[in-house]
Amino acid sequence: HHPRSPPRSRAGVPFMYRLPARRRATVEIQKIRGRLNKMEKPKSLRLAIQETLLEFKAAPDRLRMTVLSGQIIPKRNTLSYEARYTLNIFVQEFHRDPAYLFLIVNKWLQENQPDILCPGTDASSRAFVFEAEPIESDVWDVMIELKLTETVIAGLDENGLVSYKTKSEPPRPVF
């Protein structure tokens, strides 16, 4: 590609961001401080499950996660945004009662998405939904669906480089 053209992502999309109108400039994001690996919460939940259930560390292909219905809600006049998405977790050949898996997810939610654990009886207050299929008498395939959010705080530093971090969750409210 042309030496003056902007850097491109793996998908071939230029890393560009249009700044607010008051600055009337386009900044090429050539160096980004922080890691653009994966969203933090799916990675964190996978780790929590694998550390508690060692069989998924030994056979990670039995624990699949997919992000669906993702939305980016930009913060006005800033590079920061909120990501809202559904995380589908599919556990194959789970050799325990699915309730054990639900306890692990519930514990993780207490630390990482406490806002969806508030008490209530309407459908919008449910922390997560699941489906479970018995494969044998003590073996299950389990699908869990979580509605998650992550806030990314980003900005330009004094050198014009983009820096960002995922905002940590507030502590769980006490009832």
Which two three-digit tokens encode residue 1? 């590609």
- The whole-number pLDDT of residue 171 equals 53
In sequence order, the 6+-apart residues with CB closer than 8 A to the CB of 153 are: 80, 164, 165, 166, 167
Q: Is the pTM of this model over 0.85?
A: no
Range 18-42 average pLDDT: 48
Please say whether the beta carbons of 141 and 152 come within 8 A.
no
Nearby residues of 44 by Cβ (< 8 Å), 6 or more positions away: 108, 112
pLDDT tens for each residue of 83-119? 899 999 999 999 999 999 999 999 999 888 888 876 5
Task: Pull the structure tokens for residue 167.
Answer: 């905002």
Is the confidence at residue 29, as pLDDT, over 70? no
Q: What is the pLDDT of residues 42-80, one digit of tens each?
A: 999 999 999 999 999 999 999 999 999 888 888 888 788
Q: pLDDT digit string (tens) for 127-143?
A: 789 999 999 888 999 99
